C-alpha cells in the first residue's frame, strides 16, 4: 500500500520531496528493528531541523497519521515499529549537529540524531565526556534514542543509565509546540541560557526520560559532562556459580570503584570464542595494543592475553569484567587492589581479554546477529541486589523446562549481566536461533565479519517458538517486579502501576499528545 495522495502531498509541501520517502523498499527497511518487522508505513519522513519536526507534526495531526520516531534502529522491543499502515516513520538522522560545548560549565547541547560516538569524539579534544557516555552500540545508537528508550553501559556502574546525564530536552509535543524542559529565559532571547542545573523545581526533564517517544519527539538534548579519566585499568574474574558472582558484583557496585561491570556465562563465551577463532583474537590484541600508549605496555598486555588463552573458560560458570578509571596510575592501582579484596574468594582473577577489548574499543560496529550468524533477541530486567538471585533461580528452572524443545529447534538461551548504579543489576537473557536475516541485519553487519557469520534459511517454527519464549520470560520478570530499559511495547509498564498512577500518566499523554499520533502503543498508552 502506498501513501494516500492527500497525506503524501501535504508532507511534501511542508518538508520537500527529498525529505519524504515513499518507495516500498525504504518504507520496509525503516520499519524494522533488531528483532522483527513492523507494519509497512505509508511514508518515511527525514526532518533536518526542529522546525521540520514541528511541520511534520502539524501535518500528521491534519492527516491523522501516526508518527513513529526512529534513532539508530537498534531497539529490540518494538519501540518504534508501526502497527498500522496509516503511519510514518520519522528518521531523525538528519538532526545530527552539536549545537554547543561549554567546557567551563561541563555542558553540551546536541541534536537528537547525533550518535554517542559522534558526541564522544567531539568532546575528546576538550578532555571531556558525557557523565553517561553511551551504550556499546553507540556507533549507531543515537542520543535521542538512548534518552527515550533508556540505555546502559559506559558509566552505568557509577552513575546509572542514560537518564543520569540529561540536563534538559528540547521536545516537540503532539500539538506541534516546542517545549524546552530546562532552559531559562528572560524578557528577550538575549537573556536565554541553556540548562545547567536540572533539579530547579519539578523535574520536567524527568517526565520525558525513557518515555519510549510516547510524550514527545526529542530534537535536542543538553548533557552533563565530566573530565575524561587519565588512567584506566581492566580486571576480569571467573566465578563458579551465580551466587558468588552476585556477591562480588554487589560489593563492587556499592563501593563506587568501577565505572562499568559486565559479564556473561562462560558457555556463551565459549560459543563466541569457538566461532571467532584466532583471527579475531589477533584483531583483539591489535586493538588493545593500540590503546596501551607505549610499545612496552602493549607487549606486556599482549603477552598476558596470549599466555592465559581460553583455559579458564572450561573451569568456571561465569566471567565478570570490571573497568576502572582514575586520575593517575597510583590511585588506580590502589582501586584495583581494593576490587580484588572485594571479590575475595568468590572469584579468581583471570586474563582480562574481554575487559581490555571493551575498554580499548568502546564503540565497535554493533553485532546485530549472534555467533554463526544466528538471530538474537536480548531481554532485560533490572533488579535490586536482594532480588537478583531469586530471579536467576527461576530463570534456570524456566531454561531447564525448555531445554528439550530448544534443542529440537536449535534455539539457545544464555544470560549476560551488568551493573546499574550502586543498588541494581541488569540481568539480560539472550535468545539465539537460526533464521533468515532482515535487511537491517545485512545492512548493519560490519564487512570484516561477513566471512565469519552467514544467514540461515527461513525458520518460522523457531521464530514462533522464540516469540512464545519471549512472552514467558517477560511474565517471569513481571512476577519478580523488575524494571526495564527499552520499555517500548515489550514490557507491561502500565499493568504494574496502581490506578492513580495510570490515570495521571494517561492524562499527561492527553496533554502532550491530544490526537494520539506520537508512537501509539508505547508504554501501553493509546491501545
Q: Is 25 helix (H, G, I), strand (E, B) or coil?
A: helix
Segment 468-476 shows an average pLDDT of 98
Domain 371-479 CATH class label: alpha beta
Summarize pLDDT for 232-289 with one digit per residue, the tens: 999 999 999 999 999 999 999 999 999 999 999 999 888 876 644 433 443 443 343 3
What local confidence, expressed as pLDDT, does residue 387 receive? Answer: 97
What distances in angstroms separate CA 43 from CA 67, 327, 368, one per listed residue? 10, 50, 25
| Residues 445, 287: Cα–Cα separation, whole Å | 19
How many Cα atoms sit within 13 Å of 393 on the Cβ side?
Answer: 7
Name the burial class of residue 263, with classes exposed (0-12), middle (13-18) and buried (19+) by CB atoms within 10 angstroms of its CB: buried
What local confidence, expressed as pLDDT, does residue 185 receive? Answer: 57
Segment 509-518 shows an average pLDDT of 97
Position 436 pLDDT exceeds 50 = yes
Residue 459: pLDDT band (50, 70, 90) is very high
What distances in angstroms separate CA 371 from CA 273, 279, 436, one per listed residue? 9, 15, 14
Q: Rounded to an integer, what is the distance from CA 49 to the centroid of its chain?
A: 24
Burial 326-336, CB ≥16 within 10 A → b, else e: beeeeebeebb
What local confidence, expressed as pLDDT, does residue 445 receive? Answer: 85
Q: Rounded to an integer, what is the distance from CA 502 to the centroid of its chain?
A: 26
Asked whether 155 and 127 are in contact (CB, 8 A), the reply is no
Q: CATH: 3.30.70.3450, 3.90.79.10, 3.40.630.30, 3.90.1150.10. Which one for 231-360? A: 3.30.70.3450
Summarize pLDDT for 173-183 with one digit per residue, the tens: 999 999 999 87
Position 3 pLDDT exceeds 90 = no
What local confidence, expressed as pLDDT, does residue 354 receive? Answer: 83
Residue 10: pLDDT band (50, 70, 90) is very high
278 pairs with which residues across the strands? Answer: none
Provide the strand spans (E) within 92-156.
98-102, 107-111, 128-130
Q: Do domains 231-360 and 371-479 have the same CATH topology?
A: yes
What distances in angstroms separate CA 11 from CA 24, 28, 177, one per listed residue? 17, 19, 18
Pick from 372, 366, 380, 392: nearest CA to 432:
372
Higher pLDDT, 191 or 445: 445
**Per-residue DSSP letters for 505-519?**
HHHHHHHH-TT--BS
Domain 98-227: CATH architecture, name and number where available: 2-Layer Sandwich (3.30)
Asked whether 236 and 355 are in contact (CB, 8 A), the reply is yes
Asked whether 147 and 169 are in contact (CB, 8 A), the reply is yes
What distances in angstroms separate CA 57 from CA 61, 88, 444, one per listed residue? 6, 11, 29
| Residues 510, 508: Cα–Cα separation, whole Å | 5
What local confidence, expressed as pLDDT, does residue 276 receive? Answer: 46
The most confident of 256-270, 360-374, 400-414, by mean pLDDT: 400-414
What are the residue boundaries of the structural domains of the chain, listed by start?
5-94, 98-227, 231-360, 371-479
Cell numbers for 493: 509498564
Give the mean pLDDT of the chain.
Answer: 89
Alpha helix locations (H) across 170-225? 204-208
Domain 5-94 CATH class label: alpha beta
Asked whether 222 and 166 are in contact (CB, 8 A), the reply is yes
| Residues 242, 253: Cα–Cα separation, whole Å | 16
pTM of the full structure: 0.91
Asked whether 487 and 77 are in contact (CB, 8 A), the reply is yes
Residue 306: pLDDT band (50, 70, 90) is very low
Position 299 pLDDT exceeds 70 = no
Position 366 pLDDT exceeds 70 = yes
Residue 448: pLDDT band (50, 70, 90) is confident
What local confidence, expressed as pLDDT, does residue 312 receive? Answer: 59
What local confidence, expressed as pLDDT, does residue 300 receive? Answer: 43
* Long-range contacts formed by 490-494: CB under 8 A, 24+ apart: 490/76, 490/77, 490/78, 490/79, 490/379, 491/77, 492/524, 493/523, 493/524, 494/523, 494/524, 494/525
What local confidence, expressed as pLDDT, does residue 311 receive? Answer: 59
What local confidence, expressed as pLDDT, does residue 92 receive? Answer: 97
Amino acid at each position: 500500500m502506498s501513501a494516500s495522495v492527500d497525506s503524501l502531498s501535504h508532507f511534501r509541501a511542508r518538508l520537500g520531496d527529498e525529505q519524504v520517502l515513499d518507495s516500498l523498499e525504504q518504507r520496509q527497511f525503516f520499519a524494522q528493528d533488531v528483532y522483527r518487522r513492523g507494519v509497512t508505513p505509508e511514508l518515511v519522513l527525514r526532518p533536518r531541523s526542529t522546525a521540520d519536526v514541528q511541520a511534520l507534526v502539524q501535518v500528521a495531526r491534519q492527516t491523522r497519521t501516526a508518527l513513529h520516531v526512529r534513532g539508530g534502529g537498534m531497539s529490540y522491543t518494538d519501540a518504534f515499529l508501526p502497527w498500522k499502515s496509516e503511519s510514518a516513520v520519522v528518521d531523525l538522522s538528519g538532526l545530527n549537529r552539536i549545537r554547543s560545548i561549554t567546557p567551563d560549565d561541563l555542558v553540551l547541547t546536541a541534536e537528537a540524531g547525533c550518535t554517542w560516538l559522534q558526541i564522544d569524539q567531539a568532546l575528546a579534544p576538550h578532555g571531556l565526556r558525557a557523565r553517561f557516555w553511551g551504550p556499546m552500540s553507540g556507533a549507531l545508537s543515537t542520543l535521542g534514542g538512548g534518552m527515550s528508550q533508556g540505555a546502559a553501559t559506559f558509566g552505568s556502574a557509577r552513575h546509572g543509565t542514560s537518564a543520569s546525564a540529561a540536563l534538559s530536552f528540547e521536545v516537540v509535543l503532539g500539538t506541534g509546540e516546542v517545549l524546552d524542559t530546562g532552559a531559562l529565559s528572560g524578557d528577550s532571547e538575549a537573556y536565554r541560557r541553556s540548562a545547567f542545573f536540572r533539579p530547579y523545581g519539578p523535574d520536567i526533564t524527568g517526565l520525558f526520560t525513557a518515555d519510549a517517544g510516547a510524550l514527545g519527539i526529542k530534537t535536542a538534548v543538553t548533557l552533563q559532562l565530566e573530565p575524561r579519566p587519565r588512567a584506566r585499568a581492566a580486571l576480569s574474574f571467573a566465578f563458579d556459580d551465580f551466587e558468588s558472582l552476585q556477591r562480588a558484583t554487589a560489593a563492587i557496585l556499592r563501593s563506587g570503584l568501577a565505572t562499568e561491570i559486565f559479564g556473561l556465562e562462560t558457555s556463551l563465551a565459549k560459543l563466541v570464542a569457538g566461532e571467532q577463532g584466532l583471527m579475531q583474537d589477533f584483531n583483539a590484541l591489535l586493538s588493545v595494543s593500540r590503546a596501551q600508549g607505549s610499545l612496552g605496555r602493549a607487549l606486556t598486555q599482549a603477552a598476558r592475553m596470549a599466555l592465559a588463552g581460553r583455559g579458564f573458560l572450561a573451569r568456571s560458570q561465569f566471567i565478570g569484567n570490571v573497568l576502572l578509571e582514575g586520575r593517575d596510575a597510583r590511585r588506580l592501582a590502589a582501586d584495583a587492589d581494593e576490587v580484588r579484596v572485594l571479590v575475595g574468594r568468590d572469584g579468581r582473577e583471570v586474563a582480562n581479554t574481554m575487559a581490555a577489548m571493551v575498554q580499548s574499543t568502546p564503540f565497535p560496529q554493533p553485532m546485530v546477529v549472534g555467533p554463526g550468524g544466528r538471530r538474537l533477541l536480548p531481554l532485560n530486567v533490572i533488579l535490586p541486589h536482594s532480588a537478583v538471585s531469586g530471579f536467576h533461580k527461576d530463570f534456570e528452572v524456566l531454561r531447564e523446562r525448555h531445554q528439550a524443545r530448544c534443542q529440537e529447534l536449535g534455539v539457545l538461551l544464555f544470560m549476560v549481566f551488568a551493573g546499574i548504579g550502586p543498588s541494581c543489576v541488569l540481568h539480560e537473557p539472550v535468545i539465539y536461533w537460526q533464521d533468515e536475516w532482515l535487511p537491517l541485519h545485512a545492512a548493519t553487519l560490519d564487512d570484516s565479519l561477513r566471512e565469519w557469520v552467514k544467514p540461515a534459511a527461513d525458520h518460522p517454527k523457531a521464530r514462533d517458538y522464540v516469540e512464545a519464549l519471549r512472552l514467558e520470560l517477560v511474565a517471569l520478570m513481571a512476577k519478580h517486579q523488575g524494571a526495564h530499559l527499552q520499555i517500548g511495547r515489550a514490557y507491561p509498564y502500565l499493568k504494574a502501576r496502581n490506578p492513580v498512577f495510570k490515570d495521571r500518566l494517561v492524562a499527561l499523554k492527553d496533554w502532550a499528545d491530544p490526537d494520539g499520533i506520537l508512537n501509539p502503543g508505547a508504554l501501553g498508552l493509546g491501545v
